[in-house]
Amino acid sequence: MRTDRKVVVRIAAGVALVAALATVVAVFAGSSQAGAKKTLVNTSLSGSVSFWGIWAAEEQTAFEKVIKGFNAKYPNVKVTYTSKGNDMPTVLATAIAGGNPPDVADVAQPGLVKQFVKQHHLKPITYAKKTISKNFAPAWVKLGVVNKKLYALLYKASNKSTLWYNVHSFKQAGVKAPKKWSQLTKDAKTIKASGTPAYSLCGSSGWTLTDLFENIYLRTFGPAKYNKLSAHKIKWTSASVTKALKEMKQVIGNSSNLYGGTSGALQTAFPQCVDYVYATPPKAAMVIEADFVANEILQATNAKPVKDFNVVPFPAITAGADASAIETSGDEIITFRNTPAIQAFVKYLATPKAAEIWAKLGGFGTGNVHVPASVYPDAITRRTEAPLTKAKAAVFDMSDEQPAAFGSTTGQGEWGIFQKFLQNPSSIKSIQQQLEASAKAAYKK
């Protein structure tokens, strides 16, 4: 999503040459070159862009630096960023109903993007397709496509296929970081025998349970089947879901190997489960969740990277499934209007430069193949974010792709049903029936 654009003019004949040169002069009137990199400054383009986002605090500060980078190239375009918090679906729906949505917004739910497209609220960003395709693998470009047209740019991405562990707990138990699922489930028993529960779960935050299921399904059946289940082209009562739930039961099924037991896990919200793993002494040996776990460890504990905490990819389960495939979530850029200023801003966000500014600060990942791993600030971040550009396949968080009533509502749909599964891991058939009924109802709306 970052890639400095260069203006290339192809001329066929003398008259065309004159016209083209006139166009270039008009577009870059008053342009200047600054610094060794000779950044082309466009003073001709002017306008304003209103941007609503979920980023606040440190993330807002980081994004405002990205905007500053845009203004170094387009000084006469004013971008106004407003943080609206995590309830963006409701905020945007209200603004749309009132006839005053922002020019640009970032949303974390592809299902919401599809909904807005269906309701004819969004403008396609096909003007940026060339820039995006130049900088992202086809699998990443596809994440922003709805009905064969490009509507979104996945600007900020998370690697959700990660397992975080306490180095000392693993060392005490005499086990190594797992590469395979069979090794993980075996070593979990060894860790428990050493005196520390293997797993810390944030069962009160239902989305963490869906993340666990989704990674298991991806590592068992691969991206193609994952996407079919995500789109409800496979029923939740299917044999593949049964198998994935049985694998998940190996983690959640032994209450004594969960910190706090089943009841404690159900009462623990994210990020408290992370803190338990790095408490002194540790209350559990590992937590299975996305790359953003690192921020919580660094901010809330005294654990040091590599020495005290480390991370590995989610373990491989089935040989036929692509073990390098990554489940991702993130913030997609969408537009409600179409002006030259908006187009310039969206194209800029698709460049390596726009990503590198934030990546250097930490807490940022991208699928942009032209962003080198060296820009990330530390070894742990490089370990979690570099795979985003190398993955042959990337799938979006399944629950975020589905209708909100099924995939992302507290206490309902997937979140609530997976909490029931945690409470009673032997009820696989009943859980599947509940998931299918909830999905069917949500997709009818």
Strands 286-288 and 149-150: unpaired
The predicted pLDDT at position 404 comes to 83
- φ, ψ of residue 437 to 5 degrees: the values are -65, -40
- Among the residue ranges 27-36, 194-203, 320-329, 428-437, the one predicted with the least confidence is 27-36
Q: In angstroms, rounded to a whole number, what is the distance separating the alpha carbons of residues 296 and 147?
A: 38
77: amino acid identity, one letter: V
Strands 33-34 and 39-40: antiparallel
On whether both 130 and 205 belong to a single domain, the answer is no
- The two tokens of residue 329 are 């979530």
- Look at 345 and 28; give whichever has higher pLDDT: 345
Q: Is residue 1 part of a domain?
A: no
pLDDT digits (tens, 9 = 90+) for 291-338: 999 989 999 999 999 999 999 999 999 987 877 899 999 999 999 999
Provide the 10 A C-beta neighbour count for residue 228.
14
Q: Is residue 278 part of a domain?
A: yes
Q: In angstroms, rounded to a whole number, what is the distance separating the alpha carbons of residues 273 and 277?
A: 7
On whether both 311 and 348 belong to a single domain, the answer is no
The predicted pLDDT at position 23 comes to 37
On whether both 168 and 251 belong to a single domain, the answer is yes
Q: In angstroms, rounded to a whole number, what is the distance separating the alpha carbons of residues 222 and 201?
A: 25
- Look at 109 and 197; give whichever has higher pLDDT: 197
Q: Is residue 226 part of a domain?
A: yes
On whether both 175 and 314 belong to a single domain, the answer is yes
Helix (H, G, I), strand (E, B) or coil at 150: strand
On whether both 74 and 204 belong to a single domain, the answer is no
pLDDT digits (tens, 9 = 90+) for 391-412: 888 999 999 898 888 998 899 9
Range of 92's domain? 30-158+329-395
Half-sphere exposure of 359 (CA within 13 A, CB side): 30
What mean pLDDT comes out for the span 19-33? 39
Angle in degrees, CA 196, 202, 207, rounded to 5: 145
What mean pLDDT comes out for the span 67-93? 95
Cis peptide before 377 (omega within 30 of 0): no
Which residue stretches of 194-292 are H helix?
206-230, 239-252, 261-266, 272-277
- The two tokens of residue 336 are 């409600």
Domain of residue 232, CATH code = 3.40.190.10
On whether both 166 and 297 belong to a single domain, the answer is yes
Q: Is residue 18 part of a domain?
A: no
Strands 39-40 and 149-150: unpaired
On whether both 373 and 417 belong to a single domain, the answer is no
Q: Is residue 10 part of a domain?
A: no
Angle in degrees, CA 157, 270, 251, rounded to 5: 95
| Tally of residues, the chain | 445
In whole angstroms, how far apart are CA 307 and each of 167, 276, 278, 304, 383?
A: 7, 17, 12, 6, 15
Domains in the chain: how many in total?
2
Q: Is residue 352 part of a domain?
A: yes
What mean pLDDT comes out for the span 270-281? 97
On whether both 40 and 177 belong to a single domain, the answer is no
On whether both 349 and 426 belong to a single domain, the answer is no
What mean pLDDT comes out for the span 203-224? 97
- The answer to whether residues 51 and 79 touch, using CB atoms and an 8 Å cutoff, is yes
On whether both 102 and 56 belong to a single domain, the answer is yes
Beta strand segments in 31-181, E = 33-34, 39-40, 47-53, 77-83, 104-107, 145-146, 149-150, 153-159, 162-166
pLDDT digits (tens, 9 = 90+) for 171-189: 999 999 999 999 999 999 9
On whether both 418 and 389 belong to a single domain, the answer is no
Q: In angstroms, rounded to a whole number, what is the distance separating the alpha carbons of residues 434 and 341?
A: 47
Strands 309-313 and 162-166: antiparallel
Helix axes 428-444, 413-423, angle to 10 degrees: 170
Rama region for 57: left / alpha / beta (φ>0; ψ in -120 to 50; rest):
left
Q: Is residue 7 part of a domain?
A: no
On whether both 257 and 187 belong to a single domain, the answer is yes
For the chain, give the percent of residues with pLDDT over 70: 91
Which residue stretches of 98-178 are H helix?
110-118, 129-135, 138-142, 167-173
Q: Is residue 260 part of a domain?
A: yes
For the chain, give the percent of residues with pLDDT over 90: 82
Where among 395, 410, 434 does a domain terminate?
Answer: 395
Which residue stretches of 119-238 are H helix?
129-135, 138-142, 167-173, 181-193, 206-230
What mean pLDDT comes out for the span 214-227? 96
